[in-house]
Structure 1
Amino acid sequence: MSGSDPVIAALRGEHDRLAVLVRTFDETALARPSGAAEWDVSQVLGHLGSGAEITRATVLAALGDGSKPGREEMEAIWRTWNGMTRRGRADGFLQAGEALVALYESLDAATRETLRIDMGFLPAPVDVPTSARLRLSELALHSWDVRAGFDAHPALDPGTAGQLLHGEPDTIGWIGRPAEGVRAVIAVTTTEPASVFALRLLDRISVDFDVPDKPDGTLALPAEAWLRLVAGRLGPSHTPANVAATGAADLDRLRGIFPGY
């Protein structure tokens, strides 16, 4: 089994779960506010659809079919999706999202092992599992945004969380914003899946497995809640009751360090 197989399988599951929901949406549902503060549900789907279109073209370029979209091409794609009707965004997401997952699924075993994909925003081309995991993260978190428009307590799928926890690429140093005067090491314990690691709040935010005997704070939570925290989706109303924080792991402070995207 290729190392990319579980990630691609998780991507298929995530797409299919959202697609089932989207097919039930009427115009009123598509106009509802989402978990993304500035977007309605249809705009989240439009973002996912444009992302799928761009990623599919990027993977095809790595396969020798066409060229990787540049900035001008991406901006044209975004304008097209922004100009769609709400129904057009929903239907377009279903089509574009399915096409991208099907492309990953179509890669044979040798290609899954050897292909390198220039994503355009990373320092070097990445392998298939990394590329698929980037899309899985985007899809899972924005699927949560969609569900947050209808469900008071949505959560990420545990299988998806398992693929994303500690998966490459490690983007926490990009998305975390060091807080002035805060220097701490927090011991983090997750469930589903179980893991113990250190969150370092220093000049650069980082995670590693060198957990100190006496950390400055502790944080215990489901893995899906950890992923939502670092993606800015663990507000007070969306924090599970089984999240426990002590010392430097003050949740309000951590929410400020990870404001979301």
Structure 2
Amino acid sequence: MTERADRIIGALRSGHDYLTTVVHGGLAAADLDRPSGASEWTVAQVLSHLGSGAEIGLAVLEGSLSGAGPKDMDFNKSVWARWDAMSPAEQAAGFVTSNEALVRAYEDLDAQTRQDLRIDLGFLPAPVDVATAAGMRLSEFANHSWDVEVAFDRTVGLARAATEPLLDQVGMLIGFLGKADALDGRHVRVAVRTTSPERSFGLDLGDAVALTDEPAEPDAVLSAPAEWWLRLVTGRHAPANTPNGVAVTGDGLTLDDLRRVFPGF
């Protein structure tokens, strides 16, 4: 279990360091005001979301370490209000400081703590281990980092260091993210085959959306880079941001069907 936590924390560090270079690389005021990959958010607002989320995440981690537990919703609202009141330049600079503090706090956890600590996120039925909590932050961070980068390069993909850990945990939320009713009652079994890394599994689109073993007789086959599969699930799948290697074969499903199943949030 500590190996998984180590890998996720390493991905949080490399992702932070890279996005920090983007911010410090000279984002002008016009760049911060540019529309991001997140609907209705500018680049600065995405950085603000990541920064405020890091501040709240650090409070959650510290509450678990001390035994005090998570903060209440009033604390979260006060953090969001403070970040919303910042200028775009302040939001960008604040992201670097706030996210560094969270990443460093995860890095400072020793092996035993990474194994044994349980973190109460405040919105799940039970506390989770370090790997799960850090993995949820990695999902948020990697996808919103993409939202920033795609504002300047529509061909960019998710960070490579984040792709494999996120691929291992995508099943946790797929039932929430997927909308089975988008197929108007059709039951479709999809074989999903990814590259970088290579994986094969099933996607069952019936009364609910779920991952399964690869079906022996699928209605359709989705072939895609693993990073795009992850972006599909979170709604970052516009045709302009879809690489040429993505393909659906079979008569049971189209790419546009999958885009409707995963509208994003």
Give the secondary-structure state (helix, strand or coil) at the position aligned to 1:188.
strand
Query: For 2:222 and 2:108, how far apart are their aligned partners in 1?
Result: 40
String of CA shifts for 1:121-168, please: whole Å, max 9, x gaps. 222111001111111110100000001111121101222101100227
Unaligned runs of 5+ in 2: none
Query: For 2:104 and 2:187, how far apart are their aligned partners in 1?
Result: 45
Of 89, 97, 100, the residue aligned with 2:99 is 97
String of CA shifts for 1:46-99, please: whole Å, max 9, x gaps. 000011011110010000165412111111111111111001100110001000
Of 218, 233, 240, the residue aligned with 1:230 is 233
> 1:213 aligns to what?
216
Alignment CA distance shift 1:99-1:169 (3 Å): farther
| TM-score (norm. length: structure 1) | 0.96
Q: Does residue 197 of structure 1 match 2:201?
A: yes
Query: For 2:165 and 2:3, how far apart are their aligned partners in 1?
Result: 14
Give the C-alpha shift of residue 182 in structure 1: 2.4
RMSD: 1.3
Q: Aligned runs of 1:10-25 on 2, under 5 Å?
A: 10-24=11-25, 25=27
Query: For 1:62 and 1:249, how far apart are their aligned partners in 2?
Result: 45
Give the C-alpha shift of residue 244 in structure 1: 1.1
Query: For 2:171 and 2:257, how far apart are their aligned partners in 1?
Result: 25
Contact 1:116 1:128 in 2 (8 A): yes
> 1:144 aligns to what?
146
- Give the percent of matched residue pairs that are identical in Structure 1 and Structure 2: 46
Between Structure 1 and Structure 2, how many residues are aligned? 260
Alignment CA distance shift 1:196-1:169 (3 Å): closer
Of 124, 127, 133, the residue aligned with 1:125 is 127
Contact 1:185 1:217 in 2 (8 A): yes
Give the secondary-structure state (helix, strand or coil) at the position aligned to 2:4.
coil
| TM-score (norm. length: structure 2) | 0.95
Of 237, 249, 259, the residue aligned with 1:255 is 259
Unaligned runs of 5+ in 1: none
More helix by share: 2
String of CA shifts for 1:197-229, please: whole Å, max 9, x gaps. 0001011111022x2221111100000000000
Alignment CA distance shift 1:18-1:136 (3 Å): same
Give the C-alpha shift of residue 176 in structure 1: 0.8
Of 25, 28, 33, the residue aligned with 1:26 is 28
Give the secondary-structure state (helix, strand or coil) at the position aligned to 2:168.
coil
Contact 2:48 2:94 in 1 (8 A): yes
Give the secondary-structure state (helix, strand or coil) at the position aligned to 1:3.
helix
Give the C-alpha shift of residue 28 in structure 1: 1.3
String of CA shifts for 1:29-51, please: whole Å, max 9, x gaps. 11111111201000000000011
Give the secondary-structure state (helix, strand or coil) at the position aligned to 2:115.
helix
> 2:117 aligns to what?
115
Moved more, 62-71 or 251-260: 62-71
Query: For 1:181 and 1:156, how far apart are their aligned partners in 2?
Result: 32
Query: For 1:238 and 1:174, how far apart are their aligned partners in 2?
Result: 23
Code of the residue aligned with 1:139 in structure 2: it is F
Code of the residue aligned with 2:16 in structure 1: it is H
Query: For 2:196 and 2:203, how far apart are their aligned partners in 1?
Result: 18
Give the C-alpha shift of residue 175 in structure 1: 0.9
Give the C-alpha shift of residue 187 in structure 1: 0.2
